[in-house]
A and B are shown apart, each in its own frame.
Chain A
């Protein structure tokens, strides 16, 4: 014979949850009142600062509370201005950093947490930017679509300088894992100026992407950026056009391929009219495939026709 298994019903669970929420709301209200009442105190009110941290760990988007903390930090900075190296100050700032880390763990997309962290590090007498760099790399490994992380990475790199090779490898690694990512491609575009050598490399990379999935828009935007570079020769453009024509054979209904062809024929037809005809045909096809942007394509079509007109 067995003992009976009794499980809490959903009703019971709901009631329990409600009770917990009421408790949380009371605590929050209390904390906010405390902070408001003691904000102007000098020296700062230790209890309020602690309460403030507790609330922020749960909800890091309360700007007011971060501002309060900044005011306290400024106070501390003012006091230790004359000392060379103040251990108490450093430990205070480290605490602030720890708090942001805790908040970011729960909510890695909080503007205020990232901002506060950077703000503290800028005023830190001995900031450890290398550690920040490793940390941000870790965050990006967990979620490389968090644009906060990419921005933060750029900030740090500006502080400590970069090894281009490292960053390129990092970017390639992220793209290899998932190339459907505007942030990854954008980051890559900020790394270096394109010359004829690395152009090859980038064109190969982006072609790998569009051939794997021609419906992924992020890769196409990167291609567009590459094509805007003057170092892309006409020869290269023709080569690319040929390649994309092959791709179009396999996916005739993909508007992106057609658009990319138009980008190419656009620049090519400046020097060789033969491409203008192709361009016109492609825009007509685009109007059918992507009727939402019919107006835009019509405009381009007019330009293309005019171009031929003036030649004639």
Chain B
């Protein structure tokens, strides 16, 4: 079906990351004509989820294949054409590794096998090794589409800005969620379940009655946040406060690293705020405050894009973008699509990786060390499948490493497989930064057949450095009617990204409501007069 793109819009958005998609939905919602366009053939950009085949190729192919500017474009006096996209924000230090054989060797096959029936072969081998599944690259690749691997995994607070926005805008109906069913911490040499809720505290046999009371009182004090309680700790750390309360080491550990999601250096007021945020979201949808999007975080952009489309936004992926047109006053005029077509718009919004080089040359980037692991079991075995969040204190508590473990019920991997995401602020390289955590949670590479190791095995790993562009000033070298959208940040959730999207929206359309609630289908009266043209076929 060959339609031509319309030639004029109120706003053109290049890139389908979360910030871009939220802006797109908000603009369409208030009746602006939106062209949301991407050179990639998938949604999400640096926030996307990939299946196993795609992520395999992610390192190989040039992440941002920038197209040369088109030669045949008609420009007006004073106008110039500049290339779209840059490589300043590519993933770095990428390193992918398989730790399982490509396929089953002939010697693994039992002698009774007839013919070439692969499935029979594997079942024989399975029976040979007992209840353990024998995974090979080939076997995993066959289930490639069952994988939805995030490159920027996100967890939402049940009462956070994101969830509230989904509900208030009614975009909630486009996606589904699972509750994080347990929060773990590394305590006294092993993984312990963190008692988050009142019922956890009650039923946890490892917490003494006195500790139960201490913990509940502390959480209550943080929630009530009476002036007097914390007044002496305005310039002190939360850790100091907890020590002064003469709580046991275990309670301090649970509170500081897990419930307050802090480090030993976190200021007291911040620790208290974090606890409040944690407790506020507790129990809304489950036993922990956290939610994860079914089928991966890449679904989130698509939910906003759909709302945009429903309100008239035009969507075009996999497009040949031949350049941006700027006039003599450095104002954005239009986008070149394909060989010649110039599409005009009053505003341009783009993901930071889509920006011409000259607008981002002085953007400061910090990096996030990330690791993705495919494993054959949970880091902490249990009867039922869990969605696990672990805050691992690195380097004696100075940094937190965030760990998310996903099982098949999240729709991100096949049965019997787990996906583990790890991320922390980058200090050295991803491998080095995550080493401590990796060595504690997974079986080591070296085979030590004497020692029975109950920990899961890593079948595949992918380390990379992801750019964090959220602390930079993104208005600095950018023309007045063009806006840059930052990529994923180091936070667990995307509330900050929503803030950024709102800022961009308000800059373009001040004093207009941001994503008012979309009506339910039953509330709409159908088909009034409209002067929209039927597109040519």
Partner of B532, one of A2, A211, A246, A247: A2
Partner of A2, one of B203, B213, B216, B530: B530
- In the complex, B210 has a CB within 8 A of chain A: yes
- In the complex, A7 has a CB within 8 A of chain B: yes
Cα A247 to Cα B213 with chains together (Å): 8
Residues of A within 8 A of B311 (CB): 2
Partner of A212, one of B216, B525, B529: B216
- In the complex, A250 has a CB within 8 A of chain B: yes
Q: In chain B between 177 and 202, which residues have their CB closer than 8 angstroms to a CB of chain A?
A: 198-199, 201-202
Cα A178 to Cα B201 with chains together (Å): 11
- In the complex, B115 has a CB within 8 A of chain A: no
Q: In chain A between 157 and 198, which residues have their CB closer than 8 angstroms to a CB of chain B?
A: 175-179
Total interface residues in chain B, CB < 8 Å: 26
**Pairwise interchain contact B530-A1, C-beta atoms closer than 8 A:** yes
Q: Smallest Cβ distance from B68 to chain A, in angstroms?
A: 35
- In the complex, A5 has a CB within 8 A of chain B: yes
* Given known A-B contacts A211-B209, A251-B213, A4 and B528 have beta carbons under 8 A apart: yes
- In the complex, A8 has a CB within 8 A of chain B: yes
Closest to B531 in A: A1
**Pairwise interchain contact B216-A5, C-beta atoms closer than 8 A:** no
* Given known A-B contacts A2-B312, A2-B532, A176 and B202 have beta carbons under 8 A apart: yes
**Pairwise interchain contact A207-B525, C-beta atoms closer than 8 A:** no
Closest to B201 in A: A212
Residues of A within 8 A of B31 (CB): 2
Interface residues on A, range: 20 to 34
* Given known A-B contacts A212-B201, A212-B202, A3 and B527 have beta carbons under 8 A apart: yes
Partner of A7, one of B209, B212, B523: B523
**Pairwise interchain contact B209-A250, C-beta atoms closer than 8 A:** no
Partner of B199, one of A2, A177, A251: A177
**Pairwise interchain contact B210-A246, C-beta atoms closer than 8 A:** yes
Q: Smallest Cβ distance from A16 to chain B, in angstroms?
A: 10
Q: Smallest Cβ distance from B8 to chain A, in angstroms?
A: 11
Cα A100 to Cα B201 with chains together (Å): 39
Cα A175 to Cα B202 with chains together (Å): 9
Residues of B within 8 A of A247 (CB): 209, 213
Partner of B202, one of A2, A3, A209: A209
Q: Smallest Cβ distance from A161 to chain B, in angstroms?
A: 28
Cα A8 to Cα B526 with chains together (Å): 11
**Pairwise interchain contact A178-B531, C-beta atoms closer than 8 A:** no
Residues of B within 8 A of A7 (CB): 519, 523-525
Residues of B within 8 A of A251 (CB): 213, 217
Contact with B along A7-46 (1 / 0, CB 8 A): 1100000000000000000000000000000000000000
Closest to A246 in B: B210
- In the complex, A243 has a CB within 8 A of chain B: yes
Q: Smallest Cβ distance from A145 to chain B, in angstroms?
A: 14
Q: In chain B between 67 and 105, which residues have their CB closer than 8 angstroms to a CB of chain A?
A: none
- In the complex, A312 has a CB within 8 A of chain B: no
Q: Smallest Cβ distance from B509 to chain A, in angstroms?
A: 16
Cα A72 to Cα B433 with chains together (Å): 76
Residues of A within 8 A of B198 (CB): 212-213
Q: In chain A between 181 and 230, which residues have their CB closer than 8 angstroms to a CB of chain B?
A: 207-209, 211-214
Partner of A8, one of B202, B217, B523: B523
Residues of A within 8 A of B523 (CB): 7-8
Q: In chain B between 496 and 537, which residues have their CB closer than 8 angstroms to a CB of chain A?
A: 519, 523-525, 527-532
Cα A213 to Cα B210 with chains together (Å): 12
Residues of B within 8 A of A126 (CB): none
Residues of B within 8 A of A246 (CB): 210
- In the complex, A81 has a CB within 8 A of chain B: no
Partner of A213, one of B216, B524, B531: B216
Residues of B within 8 A of A179 (CB): 199, 202
**Pairwise interchain contact B530-A4, C-beta atoms closer than 8 A:** yes
Residues of B within 8 A of A208 (CB): 202-203, 209, 212
Closest to B31 in A: A2
- The 14 listed contacts between A and B (C-beta, < 8 Å) are A1-B531, A3-B529, A3-B532, A4-B528, A6-B524, A7-B519, A176-B202, A177-B199, A178-B199, A209-B202, A212-B212, A214-B213, A251-B213, A251-B217
Known: A3-B530, A8-B525, A208-B202. 18 other contacts (CB 8 A): A1-B532, A2-B530, A3-B532, A4-B528, A4-B530, A5-B519, A6-B525, A7-B519, A7-B524, A176-B202, A177-B199, A179-B202, A208-B209, A208-B212, A211-B210, A243-B209, A247-B209, A250-B210
A interface with B by C-beta (< 8 Å) = 1-8, 175-179, 207-209, 211-214, 243, 246-247, 250-251
Closest 6 CB pairs of A and B: A3-B530, A176-B203, A211-B209, A6-B525, A212-B202, A211-B212
